[in-house]
Amino acid sequence: MLLPIVSYSQLNLDAIQILFKQKQFKKAENQIVNYLQSHPNHLKATELLGDAYGYQKKWDDAIVAYKKLVEAQPNVANYHYKYGGVLGMKALQNKLKAIGLIGDIKSAFTKAAELDKNHIDTRWALVELYMQLPGIFGGSKSKSLKYAQELENLSKVDGYLAKGYVNEYDNEPELAEKYYKMAIQEGGSLTCYNKLTTFYETNKQPGKAIQNIESAHKKLHRNALHYQIGKVAAEYNIELEKGEHCLQTYLNNYSPEDGVPKAWAHYRLAQINVHKNNKETALKHIDLAIAQLPKIKPFLKEKEKILNL
């Protein structure tokens, strides 16, 4: 007779994680809140509540949850990391309050790094924080590079990517490209290739971007990379035949795991056909895109453009 009561009083962590994966964050929040009403000091439940708030961008509520964890267990690095993270998001949301939060953000991340010498995410946060902060508030390239080196000591790939980021942010494109290529050579993951591709696109080098994506495809054989080639071709009016072929290949081999909805591939095909002055074909593809995702503003703007050709 007691078994159902005991089971109900326990927090089903697997069920909460499933709700997170399904993006049912409000439902997860409600379940955790109900549980905490009878177990107010349950740390894992409190952490999950902070996560649920964070997913919903309820930064003030997340701050309260993570601060409770930091105060209850001040020697747990991950609690400080999460606390610093939501403070940072709060600062981005409200620039008037950002100045008052900077000290707490730095303190939280630094404490996490001190407590856990192997905490990679904290060091990434510090690399980005010190690069993005103005000098008057403690921003420092040398401090960013210090944490980038700590990352390299833990993981060469992360270290090279961090040094690429620092040099890209500091307008040192040759050094940034060097480190992104080193990351590819060391790790060769899709993330590494994507960083270099984005770098080339940001620096208006679409030809190099396409070459890099092709190299990634030769190694990783991901259908999603066909879309990336088509996207670059469409945006920069370059290698249009290759871009069109890759987008058709993407559509023919599409699966939900590829990530980008088919509508976006039709949108890129419409752009390519605009470049080629094929109004009828462009209109066909943009209509397919709108039929699948009717509220996407770039699709609607592209159709207006096509109709005015």
In a domain, 33, yes or no: yes
In a domain, 49, yes or no: yes
In a domain, 54, yes or no: yes
So what's the pLDDT on residue 54?
96
So what's the pLDDT on residue 219?
95
In a domain, 21, yes or no: yes
Query: Which residue, among 70, 69, 87, 155, has the nearest Cα to 119 in the 3D structure?
Result: 155
Instruction: Give me the number of domains the chain comprises.
Output: 1
So what's the pLDDT on residue 226?
98
Query: Looking at residue 90, which CATH number applies to its domain?
Result: 1.25.40.10
Q: Pick out the chain residues at pLDDT < 70.
A: 1-10
Domain ranges, residue 60: 11-116
In a domain, 86, yes or no: yes
In a domain, 157, yes or no: no
3-state secondary structure 95-133: HHHHHHHHHHHHHHHHHHHHHCCCCHHHHHHHHHHHHHC
So what's the pLDDT on residue 3?
36
C-alpha to C-alpha distance for 195 and 180, rounded to whole angstroms: 7
In a domain, 77, yes or no: yes
CA distances from 136 to 85, 99, 101, 130, 216 (A): 21, 11, 14, 11, 41
C-alpha to C-alpha distance for 209 and 205, rounded to whole angstroms: 6
Tokens of 23: 């993006």
The model's pLDDT over 137-188, given as tens digits with 9 standing for 90+, comes to 888 999 999 999 999 999 999 999 999 999 999 999 999 999 999 999 999 9
In a domain, 226, yes or no: no
